[in-house]
Structure 1
């Protein structure tokens, strides 16, 4: 791999990596880039490169592909699976097809499992394989989920994933493994900091590659699957038909109070991106709390409607362009704008604001404890007697919860405030949010967490 100039482009929030390869002749290849192309453009321009090729390993579910935008704006050649039936101009590849990159070659390897049409791309320097872009097939320490197509096809795709990983494992040990999905991705990856690996390291340490047989692999993979944001079920088709080509960078147009009030009357949703303490101190009634942080896009796609206008209330220190980009890369083009002046402008115009109590672990009494973390987090350790509903399920179940004093908790407070805002929308009152998480309770109580579901 010595002669390959590979630049990982990591999206910490989505837990994904795209890649840029300097082809050595003023051109570049990018692999699995999202519509937020700022990182790819910076890397290319820093090296004086033109993006000549954009390869997509599969029809992405967790972000809008940037390949079509590159093709429209820079003449980039799109390389993708012919079996994906994309409805826009691209070079459709099948198993074994090769593309001459000008010294380097890219060979398509059919590796279905994560999706039906999934390809891995083997990068060859002469006849020597340097690395393989494994997309959602072989990951560092894992393999990507197989339940994004339908429940009926999940096991069959898991068996295809097994065969795909076995095929990749026949590559030489020194070949680099360059996956798209990594730690933090809801497409499944174990926690950890490594985002690239080698075939040899994966054969030695990846538990799914060391499964005794296909049935064992399937049981282990399916047993590891948690929930995922509902927007995943929409973006595969968006990417098959062809993503939008942006005329301008996404932005948040300013909206005065009157315009916002009119939008809300017509069904818009207010999304408050401020910090937990700011939202707790005062917010517009009915606002959805999604604090702006690296994972903002995932939770926006999980909690906010995609088919109604969204109005943003942001903190003074939050970049409106960054908020707009995070929404756009997951297909949320329904941002109407931002409330100029924020909550202060809202109340100055005579409208009411509401607040949500923040409590410390030492202040917990006999209130119901509602833990809204993911199932695996809850099972690993939770407060005795806590009620568990995942945040992603709460909107549908909020109406069924009894109206009793409740403290909502997660790991730190951000997700819990989002849950409290959903409960407020459903008419719940007497709510508080735990400022902290389970370990804070352990510290002040001296008791142990329960670890059963």
Structure 2
């Protein structure tokens, strides 16, 4: 069964081996959903297989080895520095009724392997990890910039190899809709070899050179922490436990902020807009919280959290642990109510409607592909992840920040406010809302 992490855009898998044991494939460090699924079925995880050295999350395989006694299965070519069963192309694992067979499929990473699941001699499905995805393939620029084309060519050969499997073989990829590892991003989670052979444009490329061009042309930006998690996964992430945020008094909170600790406010956008700790960064708690935390805040930068009482501290911690972010010092005890009661200063950023745009400069902070598909005429475009580095190039006139809804826009506005801009507002909605309200058309392209 697939266990989808909507924030990362990934699927882990739990396979019932019909004898009280289970196989986990590409499980992240946040094992909460997997544990619930296993407990409901009375399963103990006997095997934890990783298709590759993940760049977008820390592996949960070591955690499963420690808690369930699972045997870790991974490619010998990965040179992992922790106990695991090293697999090379063609190696098979007897799962007791089913067989797991490793297929060398380099491309997304140099050591990538896929796992075929066999019932006797029949291949039921293949865990393709970051090789063949639904309608696409995973990007090849996460190992090192110098190896991007080399790995793209390896990805071509790996996909061609997988395409030789029978039509009815199920395709179970790790990366899917919303994953920054997918290039281009897909929308579905699972497929079959026959469907992919018929519909996947990368599989239908005229030749290797055409495949490489199509793949490389589709690459967008990705969070900077992607370049360090692979090595942590090679060494083996530390085991973790507990899910409580230490409370920090108002006075200590203010002292930490003055010392350079970054305040991250995870409350919903309207709450942040109405009042927040000055110079705090808005990153609302939602499935993609950790991705934007890791994109906007340096991975080694200590952080203190502001949240509402109904927001789960465990969700904050597990999301951040998943990306190797362990610099959260604590949370504001009593939240904004305690801060205001202590007479501390607050700041606000207005939410505005289409009528308020006027002569302001619209700053669209969506990803490149989103902006190109349609934006407010005359809008300036800077992806949210690049806003901090380009503040000085923005015009002196008032700015209204826009994204698809308003979460990313408020994140950008809070960064601009930290940089000293006092003339910033956030559009309540996205370009489609502006077009519907004004009756005007969106521009496409640059």
TM-score, with structure 2 as normaliser: 0.98
- The answer to whether the Cα contact below 8 Å between 2:361 and 2:398 also exists between their aligned partners in 1 is yes
TM-superposed CA distance for 1:317, in Å, is 2.1
Give the counterpart of 2:441 among 437, 445, 448: 448
Aligned length: 446
* Correspondence for 2:386: 393
Name the Cα RMSD after superposition: 1.2
Give the counterpart of 2:135 among 141, 147, 151: 141
Give the counterpart of 1:180 among 156, 162, 174: 174
Which aligned pairs between 1:27-426 and structure 2 lie closer than 5 A? 27-188=21-182, 193-246=187-240, 248-426=241-419
1:191–1:305: structure 2 CA closer, same or farther, 3 Å change rule? closer
- The answer to whether the Cα contact below 8 Å between 1:182 and 1:189 also exists between their aligned partners in 2 is no
Alpha-carbon deviations, 1:248-293, whole Å to 9, x = none?
2232111111221222232211100111111000111110100111
- The answer to whether the Cα contact below 8 Å between 1:179 and 1:195 also exists between their aligned partners in 2 is yes
Once residues 355 and 295 of structure 2 are traced to their aligned partners in structure 1, the CA distance between those partners, rounded to angstroms, is 31
Once residues 185 and 300 of structure 2 are traced to their aligned partners in structure 1, the CA distance between those partners, rounded to angstroms, is 33
- The answer to whether the Cα contact below 8 Å between 1:420 and 1:433 also exists between their aligned partners in 2 is yes
1:191–1:237: structure 2 CA closer, same or farther, 3 Å change rule? closer
SS at match of 1:267: coil
SS at match of 1:419: helix
Consecutive unaligned residues of structure 1, counting only runs of 5 or more, are 1-6
TM-superposed CA distance for 1:404, in Å, is 2.3
1:223–1:331: structure 2 CA closer, same or farther, 3 Å change rule? same
TM-superposed CA distance for 1:316, in Å, is 2.5
Once residues 140 and 227 of structure 2 are traced to their aligned partners in structure 1, the CA distance between those partners, rounded to angstroms, is 13
TM-superposed CA distance for 1:348, in Å, is 2.1
TM-superposed CA distance for 1:169, in Å, is 0.3
- The answer to whether the Cα contact below 8 Å between 1:280 and 1:358 also exists between their aligned partners in 2 is yes
Give the counterpart of 1:434 among 417, 427, 430: 427
Which aligned pairs between 1:4-15 and structure 2 lie closer than 5 A? 7-15=1-9
1:22 aligns with 2:16: yes
SS at match of 1:40: helix
Alpha-carbon deviations, 1:331-373, whole Å to 9, x = none?
1111111101212212222321000011012221001111111
TM-superposed CA distance for 1:101, in Å, is 1.0
TM-superposed CA distance for 1:193, in Å, is 4.7
Show structure 1 runs of 4+ deviating over 4 A: 189-193
- The answer to whether the Cα contact below 8 Å between 1:110 and 1:120 also exists between their aligned partners in 2 is yes
- The answer to whether the Cα contact below 8 Å between 1:181 and 1:189 also exists between their aligned partners in 2 is no
SS at match of 2:116: strand
Once residues 266 and 60 of structure 1 are traced to their aligned partners in structure 2, the CA distance between those partners, rounded to angstroms, is 34
Once residues 137 and 186 of structure 2 are traced to their aligned partners in structure 1, the CA distance between those partners, rounded to angstroms, is 14
Once residues 395 and 72 of structure 1 are traced to their aligned partners in structure 2, the CA distance between those partners, rounded to angstroms, is 41
- The answer to whether the Cα contact below 8 Å between 2:108 and 2:139 also exists between their aligned partners in 1 is yes
Once residues 235 and 161 of structure 1 are traced to their aligned partners in structure 2, the CA distance between those partners, rounded to angstroms, is 21
Alpha-carbon deviations, 1:174-227, whole Å to 9, x = none?
111000000010111556652011100100111111111111111111111110
TM-superposed CA distance for 1:398, in Å, is 1.4
**Bigger CA drift: 117-126 or 332-341?**
332-341
Consecutive unaligned residues of structure 2, counting only runs of 5 or more, are none
Alpha-carbon deviations, 1:5-29, whole Å to 9, x = none?
xx11110111100001011111100
Alpha-carbon deviations, 1:396-421, whole Å to 9, x = none?
11133233211010011100000000
